[in-house]
Amino acid sequence: MNGRFLLNRSRAKVMGVAAGLADWTGIDVLAVRLALIVATLVTGPVAVLLYILTGWLAADDR
């Protein structure tokens, strides 16, 4: 892990959460995005709510 979690808006598709998680964990961004899709299919609105809250509360990489 690279220390602090930051949103990565330069590689963002929606809010930069998946790209930020990929940078923070060192995992490929495509794998993180696929995991978020699977989490959404399994948990429904819970994963979507957590994604939105993370995008709203986390700091930018600027």
Average pLDDT across the chain, whole number: 85
Predicted local confidence at residue 1, as pLDDT: 55
> Of the ranges 2-6, 25-29, 30-34, which one carries the lowest mean pLDDT score?
2-6
CA atoms 32, 52, 54, 15: torsion sign: positive
> How large a percentage of the chain has pLDDT more than 90?
35
Smallest CA-to-CA distance from 60 within 3, 4, 2 is with: 4
The CA distance from 39 to 43, in Å, is: 6
Q: What is the mean pLDDT of residues 20-25?
A: 87
Name the residue ranges covered by the structural domains of the chain: 9-57
Give the residue with greater pLDDT, 18 vs 11: 18
